Amino acid sequence: MCRSFARMEYTPTDRTKIRRVPERANYDRELVHGVIDEALTCSVGFAVDGKPWVIPTIHTRVDETLYLHGAPANHMLKSLADGIETCVSITLVDGLVLARSAFKHSVNYRPVVMFGLATKVEDGAEKETALAALVEHVARGRGADARPPTANELRSTLVLRLPIQEVSAKVRSGGPLDNEEDLGLDVWAGVLPCTTAYGDPLAEPGIAAAAPGYLTRYGRP
């Protein structure tokens, strides 16, 4: 019973325990995985000489591991590979919350924040798995079409792994929470939903074939 509970939720730590509006905190594995998988990019934070950096990049998840990748000369990846702590933040915005009062305006969002030590992936098989997962993270089905990386390309890609362990999500949903005394004001209140929309695929010159179904009917997990 205990074990199955442990499997379903991450354990809050001092850093991931949400103190502000704690009822919006969420440590559910499935929810956290869902945000990570749905978001195309993340923001990677690290400190060099005590000074913060936040760099956007693309990520992918395999089970309980987040993978980052890039050129070996990449400042962010090099800094992390030195064995320093990172904080990775991923946010999906679901709607604008328009309250009657300016003060109660809000955003419906699902941020995930995780902390940990990223390490360089040295194992060749793990590196190939991570890079294959990255292509599938961009578009599910793409891996079967794209030319796989050569030995040279694998060598010129630095891949880092970050265990998904010290992590929390926060979920704000629903309408505005106006003060009772504002409910009678003659001000429209509600939610403007938002989502990421994908257009028609634009083929490169010389591509005569129709775009594959995973692009014409594109959707994120």
The footprint of its own copies on residues 20-59 (CB under 8 A) is 20, 40-41, 43-47, 50-56, 58
* CA-CA-CA-CA dihedral for 142, 164, 38, 174, to nearest 10: 170
Q: What is the DSSP string of 34-75?
A: HHHHH-SEEEEEEEETTEEEEEEEEEEEETTEEEEEE-TT-H
CB of 177 to its own copies, least distance (A): 10
Distance in angstroms (rounded) separating the CA atoms of residues 53 and 41: 16
Of 60, 65, 157, 168, the residue at the interface with its own copies (CB under 8 A) is: 157
Give, in degrees to the nearest 5, the angle at Cα 146 between 141 and 152: 135
213 scored as a contact of its own copies (CB under 8 A): no
**Piece in contact with its own copies (CB under 8 A), picked from 2-10, 26-34, 60-68, 147-155:** 147-155
Residue with tokens 């030319």: 147
82 scored as a contact of its own copies (CB under 8 A): no
Dihedrals phi, psi of 102, to nearest 5 degrees: -55, -40
**Piece in contact with its own copies (CB under 8 A), picked from 28-36, 60-68, 118-126, 144-152:** 144-152
CB of 1 to its own copies, least distance (A): 34
151 scored as a contact of its own copies (CB under 8 A): no
Distance in angstroms (rounded) separating the CA atoms of residues 49 and 197: 40
Query: Site mask, its own copies, residues 99-138, x = CB under 8 A?
Result: xxxxx-x-x-x-x-x-x---------------xx-xx--x
